[in-house]
Amino acid sequence: MKKIKEFILREVADEYILIPTGHTTEEFNGIITLTETAAFIYNHIEEVNSFEELVQTILKEYDIDEETATKDAVIFINHLLQTGLITLSDPQKNW
């Protein structure tokens, strides 16, 4: 996956916010609030080469079971795709 919008990620107490910057301000107003896990996924999404690798990266960071990590990742990645914040970097691998 690759990020196609410009956002600044900032930690605010126990949550994170995405603030649009650059060209992204032409289409996004306001801020997006993320949970800690969502911020972690957003930060690492370009570093991993598959969904499975992303889940394993989450499991290394957080003390949660694989089912929960998979479910959280699916929901958040679908949200990022639907809102156009990310796109597939390798369509053949669906990633």
Partner 1 sequence: MYNIGGLIIEINNHDHIPTPKNLELFRVDADCYDHLYDIYMIDYIETENEKFILNKNNIKIFMQDEFHKRYLYLPGDHRPYGLCLRMHEGHTVVYVQKEYVQLFESDTIFASILSLEKRMYFLNKFILHSAYMLHNGEAILFSAPSGTGKSTQADLWTKYRGTRTINGDRTLISKENDQYFANGWPVCGSSRICFNETYPLKCIVFLSQAKENKIEKLDYKTKVKKLISELTINYHYAPFVNKVMDFIDDLIIHVPIYHLECDISENAVICLENQLKEDKIWMR
Residues that bind partner 1 (CB under 8 A): 6, 8, 10, 12-13, 15, 17, 19-23, 25-26, 30-31
User: Shortest approach of partner 1 to residue 10 CB, angstroms?
Assistant: 5
Compare residues 34 and 77 and give the one whose CB is closer to partner 1.
34
The whole-angstrom separation of Cα 74 and Cα 68 is: 10
d(CA 62, CA 70) in angstroms, rounded, equals 12
Angle in degrees, 0-180, between the axes of helices 36-44 and 66-82, rounded to the nearest 10: 70
Minimum CB separation from partner 1 for residue 61, in Å? 23
